[in-house]
Each structure stands twice: as C-alpha cells, then as structure tokens.
Structure 1
C-alpha cells in the first residue's frame, strides 16, 4: 500500500512537470486518500506539500496554506522532525504574502527551534535565511544581518539567496562597496530563477547610485533579458492535456453523428431554410432594439454621472467653507476633514484614469509589459495631487527622505490595490513589491507595525 501511495505522488509530479495540472491533482488526491486510510503519515505529508506547490503555481493562497498546514501535522505525527520544520517554514511564507509578519515570525521561530535540536546544518541555514528576511521586513536590520551570517556559516551550498539579501541590506544603508561585494558572491544557477533576475536588477541599482553608467546599463540589459526569458516560460500552456481532451470529445461527437446523421439531415435542411427567413427578420429587429437600448442607457448613465459630479462638487465646496469657518473659530474640524477626504476619494474613483488602472490590473497577461510608463506615472501623480493638494505639498517637501520607488508606493496607496496589483504597476515581483511597501511603511511610521500607508500620508499631509 505504501508503495502505491509513493507511485501516486511520483505520477502527480510527472504530470506537473508537463503542466498537466488537472491530472496531477487527481493523482495527488487519490494517493493522499490511500495514505490517510493506511495511516502512512510521512508520505501523506509529502503529498500535501506537493499539492500546496501546485496551489502556489495557480496563486490559490488560502488552499496553499491549508495544504502546508496539513503537511506539517502529518510530518509531526510521523515523527519526521526535519520535514515538519520545513512545512512550518512554508506555512510562514504564505502569511508573508498577506503582510502578517507577527504570524510569519511565530511559525519561523518554531521551525528554527525544531531544526536546531536536530543539528542539521543545511536546514539551520535555510531557516536562518528565512528569519533574516522576516526581521528585514520588520525593520530590525541588525537581527536580520546576524541571521543571514548564521545562514552562510551553516549552509555552504545554497548561499546565493543569502548573499543577495545581504547585498540588498547594505544597498538600503547606502554602503555600496559592501553591497557590491556580497552581490559578486551570488554565482552559479540558484534553485529559484528569480534570484538571478533580482541579482541583475540590484546590480543595476548599485552601479547607478555609484555613478558607473556603463556597468549599470550592462546590468539592466541582463536583467531585462533574464526577465523576458522567465515570462516566456510562464506563457507555456497545457497543450498536451488540451489535445487529449479534444481527441476524446471528437471521438464522441463523431460516433453520435454516425448514428443520428441520416435521421437529422432532412429535418435540419427544412429547419435551416425556415430559420434563414425568420431568423434574419428577428435578428435585425433585435439588433435595432439593442442599439436603441444601449443608446438610452448610455445617455442615462452620462446624465447620472454628471448629476453626481455636480452634487459632489457642491458638497465639497460647502464642507470646505464650513471647515474654514470652524478653523477660524478654533473649533474641532476633524469630522469635516474625514468627509472631505471621503468625497475626494469618491472623485478619484470616478476618474477615467483610476478605472483604467484597475482594469489593467484585472486583465493581466503573462509575458506582456504591464508596468506604468513615465507618462502614466506623471498623469497619476498629477491627478492625486489635484484631489489632495495638502498631500501634494507633503510629498514634494519629502522630509522623510523617500526614494523614487517609495514615493510611487505612497501614490499607489490612494488606489487601494492589493500586493499583486502594486507589483504589476511597478513592474516587479510580488516579493519585491512587498519589500518596497515595508520599507515605505518604516520611513512613514517607524516602530509602528501594520500601520496603513495611505492613512499616515493623509495625516502628515493635511
């Protein structure tokens, strides 16, 4: 029975390799059912881990987390402490994408405790790398560095991600020589292909800040080449599986045609002749009615939006005047501020640019360039500045030393985007977008975990 469960796991993995996800999930599910029935907890844990990886690929975050949690429980029951520690690490990763750093740290510390007891140097290095990244996101740079050094001392094989992380830390501190030194140690072919892509982009940032235009351009060209290569791989589709399903459908249809062809042929000929006459008239009438209906609907929508816009402007003027009067009388104006901000956000949501950007995030096509152009950034910044003039002054003064990317994060916060949508508009990976968001939050409100970037900007810029 155990051998059959392992066979099911390997069959599922082979399907995944060929991008046949439906058959892969079926093979995993059948193997997991057998493993649970026979209490084969170790193999059940591995099956759940691979099922979670499949959900990672399809971006079903909640299902991914659920399967990693199941894997951890199975490994614990099987007494497989090493795999249990890595399963806890994988659960932590899913919470990291939801910006729940306290939960991430809790799971990673549990994983560290388990792997340390085993004295598994390679495992200790992997977990230490994860803790270094977490403390970096939390703004505790010294702890982050110490865990990265611990990772390098423990794991002598998979060091590329740790060197890249240390290089990024020193770049953020503007210690370019150290950043360049650690970046040079990122060699070979890392297990994660994005590590190599991020290496080239970080190299571009370092050399650009150092003033070496030639090297910066070289890194940027290599970054673009590697990124395009990854996008090309992501564009692959499940062609084999589609062909198999098409073949089965074709066989069924052909058999049905052979049985019914003689009976239906005459009836179809008569029906087609009648439908050609009647159908044309009905279709033409429906077409004209649909045109009239759409025209009327568009006119009503235009009128409604115009009325809403006028009412919104009138209310804003009324509130602004009343707030100025209250301020002159040294009375509380907080409620007026809240309503004015709410109305300005409503104006922003009604703008064509806002709707265009939200639609752009919704219709993501792998492999195509989705990030905003410089012209689009200028349009977005101008639009938000026009609605929030006080915030505009705060952003231009830039007393907190925000970088260009961090300024963009601030402006994107007005659009109420999720992490993946921000990554699309910035043209970076979700991991990079998460780092940018965390660093911006640290500058705006140091020491405050989980604070809202947009709320903080509005408070500082009023």
Structure 2
C-alpha cells in the first residue's frame, strides 16, 4: 500500500469512527475501533493497533459482547507475539481460550491455541508448544477447517524441526504444502522454504536447492519481499555447504541488500503513519480550540449587550445588574479555564506522540545496529571458511579463494555503514556528540565515539563486541579508557552517565 492510499484509508476509517461516535451506537463504535486496529496491525504500527483493539475491548466488555471479546483478545495476543512480549500474549490468549470454551466458540478457541503454541515455541518450551498445537489441530479438524489444519501442520513441523526430528517435520510440512498448493495460496512459499531447510539440515543439498529456488520464484510472483530475502539467505547457506562459494556470496549479497531495503521501507512506512496520526490530532485540537474560543466570544457579546441594557435601566435595579455581571464574569473565567485545559491536554498528546516517534526511531536504531552485527558475523564466518579452504594444498581453486577472502575482508573494513549509522544516530540524538565533547576531559578518538554511541543505545558488551568485531575483553578495556576521559565519579556507571547526556 503506497503512502497516499495509506493516508486515504486512515482518514476514511477515522471519519467513520467519528460518525459512529455521534450515532451513539456501541456496536458501530466498536466495529470502527476494530477496523482501525486492523489497519495499524497491517502497517506494523503495533502500539496504535493495541490502543484501538483495547478501546474496542473495553466497549465490548461494557456491553457483554462475549464473542467479540474473544476475537479481540486473540488479535491483541497475536500482536504481543509479533513484538516478542510473550508474557502478555499468553495472558490474553489464556483468557480467550477460557471464554471461548464457555461460549463453545470453537474456531476462536482453535485460533487462540495455535497462537499460544507459537508463543511457547518462541520461548523454547517445545513440549507445551506441541500440546497447544495438537489441541488446535483437533479443534480445526472437528470444524473441518482445512486452512486452519494446514496452518497448524506447518507450526507442528516447525517445532519438530527445532527438535531436530526432521522426518516428522518433513511429514507435517508436506501435509501443509499439499493444501496451500491446491488453493494456490502465497502461504505455500514459507512451507517450501521450511521443506528446503529440512533437506539442507539432513545433507540432501540438491533437493534443498530445488525447494528453496521454487520458494523464491513463487515469492517473486506474489511480490513477497520477506520471503525473497529468506530464500536468498537459505540459498547462501546451501551453496556454502556445496562449496560453491561464488554463488553463496552472490546470494548472501542479495540477502543483505533486500534486508536493508526492507528495513528502511518498513520504518518509513511506520513513520508516515505516525506523522499522519500526529497531524490529524493536531488539526482536531485546533478545531476544538477555535470552537471554544467562538463560545467565549459569544459569551462576551452577550455580556456587552447586558451591560448596554443595564445602563438604560433605572438606578434602582443597579444591584441586580452587578450580580448578573459577576455571574457572567464567572462564566467567562470558566470558559477561559476550559480553553487552557484543552491547550494543556493537546500539548500532552503532542508530547506523547513525539515520545512514541523517538521510541520508534530508537528501536529502529537498535535493530539497525543488530543488523550490522549479524552482517559482520555472516561475512566473518564466510571469510574464515574460505581462508581454511585456501590452506588445502590439493585444491585447484586456491588462489581464487584467497582473492575472494581478501575481497570479503575489504568489505568488512568499509566505513560506509558506520557513516550511515552515525548519521541515523544523530537524527535521534542530535546533541549527544556535542555534549559528550564538551564533557570530556581530553579529546575522544573516533573509536571511543563509536563505543560511546553504542553504550548510549544500552547495548551489552557482547553485542558491542559483535558489532565492532573485537573480543568482549577488548570492549571492557575500551570502556575503562573511555571512562578515564570523562568526569565520572567512582560510584557512577558509565552507561548512566552517557544516557543522561
């Protein structure tokens, strides 16, 4: 969905919600909150999605709309699963299952069991994950819901793959693929990737290549960027195992390019939605303020009319006039207080939205730093493998592999990503480097500035070591040297000092 269409849909849903509120129809208002929640979930603005779903849930609870409560709790649980808040996800899903069982709402119960099983799988609790997925499979089978059965079969296959029980994983993946292939659904793409993973992990590399390549062709057909990215990553792994390092490098490069593009696209889309929300609320605040000012103006006009009329009255009723004047003054003060209160509330809203944007940018920055670490690790591992192979005397491709290893080492030494990363960091924390330079006792080196920036993001020594491609011990030594150049007392932590700049 492009930005203009996205804004158009948001404004349409927002207007529909306002109309529903004026109608005082609880069902319509709840429906529109749900509609907005679905919109924010699709655009991956998860905090707003949870807010809208929560508003709908409160209304559903007030009106005792039990079935709708179950549906909303499932959707909230699924969002918390997406943002890896498994504890909250499990709370909502367990409540959903309990309510669905009381209402005999079998499909909603099956969906909740499936999502709950995925939560336990992500936490590594495979026994509980299997129990809930099997329960979901029973419920979907009872409903004769083929799509639900296919989804759960894929989930069970994924659990068995995590447990290295590849034969069982393959069996469940094939069941899932048979259905999705039959209805020509894009969901078959992920299942094909999973089957390719099983073949690769069982050393059947040619078959793995076939399934992964088929997955990528379908992903390109459906325009599924995430799946194309995943296919390139898996192909790089398979070609590396086949010792075709040229193709492995090509697919790894494609994977990194798509991953970077997806990262920026997702963040720009989220920022665009947040900007639209902010502008809408700002306009609404201005309209409300103008309405209240108009009310005050009318009150002032009435007061002037009363004053003019009072002049013409007999002096005997002057006391009555003064009483009325005091009352009108009190009303005017009340109106002014309301205007002031409205302004304060709108400023609070603006501050909250700015904080949300900062949190989003900070989360994006952390994600970008982890992306650098992941990329460095992948490139380092591949470079190390090529160097080991080059030491084997019987190989004819020794010189070629050495050249490739040199190219990879050269790529790892490039500073372009650091420059881009530091520019991105300065967008979020524009005064940080200036304040740090003023606070420092002596001039900081570029390496110390990088370390300070990563510590400001509250990354661990292990994560920093991965990003800088050094050992954790080197990071600890660097932290000690940086600390000595800053005015920090012995009881204060370095991270706290940098966070407060």
TM-score range, shorter chain: 0.5 to 0.7
1:304 equivalent in structure 2: none
2:72 equivalent in structure 1: 47
1:159 equivalent in structure 2: 188
- Confirm or deny that 1:32 pairs with 2:57: yes
2:126 equivalent in structure 1: 101
2:95 equivalent in structure 1: 70
Q: Which has the larger radius of gyration?
A: 2
Q: Tell me by how many angstroms 1:106 deviates.
A: 0.9
Among candidates 371, 374, 380, match of residue 371 of structure 1: 374
CA contact (8 A) 2:74 2:111 kept: no
Cα gap change, 1:145 to 1:73, in 2 (>3 Å)? same
- Confirm or deny that 1:174 pairs with 2:203: yes
Cα gap change, 1:424 to 1:86, in 2 (>3 Å)? farther
Q: Tell me by how many angstroms 1:375 deviates.
A: 12
Q: Tell me by how many angstroms 1:426 deviates.
A: 7.8
Q: Tell me by how many angstroms 1:73 deviates.
A: 3.4
CA contact (8 A) 1:234 1:366 kept: no
1:241 equivalent in structure 2: 277
Task: List aligned pairs for 1:298-313, cutoff 5 A.
Answer: none
1:114 equivalent in structure 2: 139
Q: Tell me by how many angstroms 1:422 deviates.
A: 9.0
Cα gap change, 1:79 to 1:423, in 2 (>3 Å)? farther
Q: Which runs of 5+ in 2 are unaligned?
A: 1-25, 293-362, 382-459, 468-501
Cα gap change, 1:252 to 1:126, in 2 (>3 Å)? closer
- CA RMSD, aligned part only? 4.1
CA contact (8 A) 2:166 2:202 kept: no
Among candidates 131, 148, 151, match of residue 173 of structure 2: 148
Write the distance in 2 (CA, Å) between the matches of 1:252 and 1:6. Answer: 25
1:226 equivalent in structure 2: 258
Q: Tell me by how many angstroms 1:167 deviates.
A: 0.7
Q: Tell me by how many angstroms 1:170 deviates.
A: 0.9
CA contact (8 A) 2:76 2:92 kept: yes
**TM-score normalised by length of structure 1:** 0.52
Which structure carries more relative contact order (alpha carbon 8 Å, separation 6+)?
Answer: 1
CA contact (8 A) 1:85 1:112 kept: yes
Cα gap change, 1:362 to 1:50, in 2 (>3 Å)? closer
CA contact (8 A) 1:42 1:78 kept: yes
Q: Tell me by how many angstroms 1:180 deviates.
A: 1.3
Cα gap change, 1:234 to 1:375, in 2 (>3 Å)? closer
Write the distance in 2 (CA, Å) between the matches of 1:375 and 1:188. Answer: 26
2:218 equivalent in structure 1: 188
Write the distance in 2 (CA, Å) between the matches of 1:249 and 1:8. Answer: 20
Q: Tell me by how many angstroms 1:57 deviates.
A: 4.7
Q: Alpha-carbon deviations, 1:208-265, whole Å to 9, x = none?
A: 222334432332222112211221134333333344567789999999xxxxxxxxxx
**TM-score normalised by length of structure 2:** 0.49
Q: Tell me by how many angstroms 1:54 deviates.
A: 3.5
For these two proteins, the number of residue pairs brought into alignment is 285
Stretch moving more, 33-42 or 115-124 = 33-42
Write the distance in 1 (CA, Å) between the matches of 2:224 and 2:156. Answer: 18
Task: List aligned pairs for 1:278-317, cutoff 5 A.
Answer: none
Find the residue that maps to 1:211 and give its secondary structure: coil
Q: Tell me by how many angstroms 1:363 deviates.
A: 7.8
